[in-house]
Each structure stands twice: as structure tokens, then as C-alpha cells.
Amino acid sequence: MKVDYSSHKEAIEVPKIEEPQLTEIDKDISITREASPENIDRQNDEVESSQSKTQNILLNPMLGSIDDLMAETEKEIRSIKSEKIELNIDQVKKVWDEYRSIVESPSTKVTLEKVLINISENSIHVIVPSSVSKEEISQEVQLYQKLRDEFNNNELNIIIDIDRSQFPDLLDTQGAKMYSMKEKYDYLSEKNPELNNLVKKLKLKVDQE
């Protein structure tokens, strides 16, 4: 015998499960967990990370501006350094005299004093009375560099010419004497220190005139 349950269906209600109410103790425990050292450290790290990102966003444009400014400044400095300064006879003579004042050799001082200086577009022309003077000045490479630095021109030419007629005060009545024996001796002994030993060994006397 079969029983038909279809006619005996009844509504079955599912009991509702209510969420448990938190007691004051439970709330205190929850707050304590949220405020634990681990949570505080994690929150601090998140805040610092956020601040760091914000600072990077603000600083990156500023750093870019500083780099651009420095690059532009360096460009201007290079431009200034590359510009040649126009030759000026007064300035040339000033540099020449300043160098002469610091030279230690007496004969070199005299040689640098007995010159005539002219300028052209990219050259300094130095007129001297003798080949000895020309040779001596040619060896003063520091003087050449000072002149080139002064006018920011490494291609500046320093040309030395001999013209005795420009120095009549150095000519005596016999006509060709340009330096005293003492000046010549000082010059030669400076180039070759052994000359002094030779003079002493041979008991020679240098003419002081």
C-alpha cells in the first residue's frame, strides 16, 4: 500500500539565526586587537608610505627644475668661457708688467723691460733689440699663458721681432753694444750654472760695466 504525501504538504519554516550581540567585553577585546602594536606599526607604515609618495610627487618637478637650471647655468658659463676678449694694448702692458715684477732673474727683468709692444687683431707683437732678448723672452712660457688666459684666447699669437733701430739708447758710440758684460754673464750663467764654477776655477774676473 502506497501513501500519497502530496496532499499533506506543509510549509516548513527555517528558523532565523540571529547574529550574536557583542557584549562590552567583546567590544573591548575588538578595540584592543585593533590597537595592538602590530596594527599601530602597520598603520604608521601605511601613513609614512603615503607621505613619501606625496613628497615624491611634489619634489620630482622641483628637482627637474633645479637640474634644468644647473644645466642652463653651465651652458652660460661655457659660452662665456668660449668668448674671446678683444685685445687691449693697456691690458696687455699691464699683464706684461705684472709678470715682470714677479720674475726673479735680474737679467730677465731687464729684458722684459726693454721691449716695445703692439697689437693686431689676434696677435701681440713684441719688438726687442737683440737675438739674445728674443731667445730669453721666447722661453717665458708662463708669460705667454698669462696673456692668453687674460684674453680667453688660447690661439693668441705672441710674435717677437728684432729691430735695433727702435732702441737708440742702447747703442753706444761704437755702434753695436746692446748689453753690458755683466748682463751677458748673468744671462749665460743662468742658462748654465757651471759657468760660475768655471770662472772661479780659472780665477777670472767678470767685467761689471
Give the tens place of pLDDT for each residue, 173-188.
444 455 667 777 777 7
Looking at the domain assignment, is residue 12 inside a domain? no
Residue at a domain's end among 19, 54, 82: 82
Looking at the domain assignment, is residue 19 inside a domain? no
The pLDDT assigned to 83 comes to 81
Residue position matching grid coordinates 733689440: 129
Tell whether 68 and 129 lie within a shared domain.
no
Looking at the domain assignment, is residue 9 inside a domain? no
> Which domain covers residue 150, as residue numbers?
89-178
Looking at the domain assignment, is residue 156 inside a domain? yes
Higher pLDDT, 60 or 167: 167
Q: Which helix (H) or strand (E) holds 73?
A: helix 37-82
Q: Cell triple for residue 40?
A: 599601530
The pLDDT assigned to 145 comes to 95
Q: With 60 as the cut, is the pLDDT of residue 142 above it? A: yes
Number of domains in the chain: 3
| pTM, to two decimals | 0.47
Tell whether 99 and 172 lie within a shared domain.
yes
Q: Cell triple for residue 166?
A: 727702435
Tell whether 55 and 128 lie within a shared domain.
no
The pLDDT assigned to 48 comes to 65
Percent of the chain with pLDDT over 70: 57
Looking at the domain assignment, is residue 27 inside a domain? no
Looking at the domain assignment, is residue 18 inside a domain? no
The pLDDT assigned to 31 comes to 47
Tell whether 151 and 163 lie within a shared domain.
yes
Tell whether 187 and 147 lie within a shared domain.
no
The pLDDT assigned to 173 comes to 40
What's the DSSP call for residue 209? -
Tell whether 77 and 122 lie within a shared domain.
no
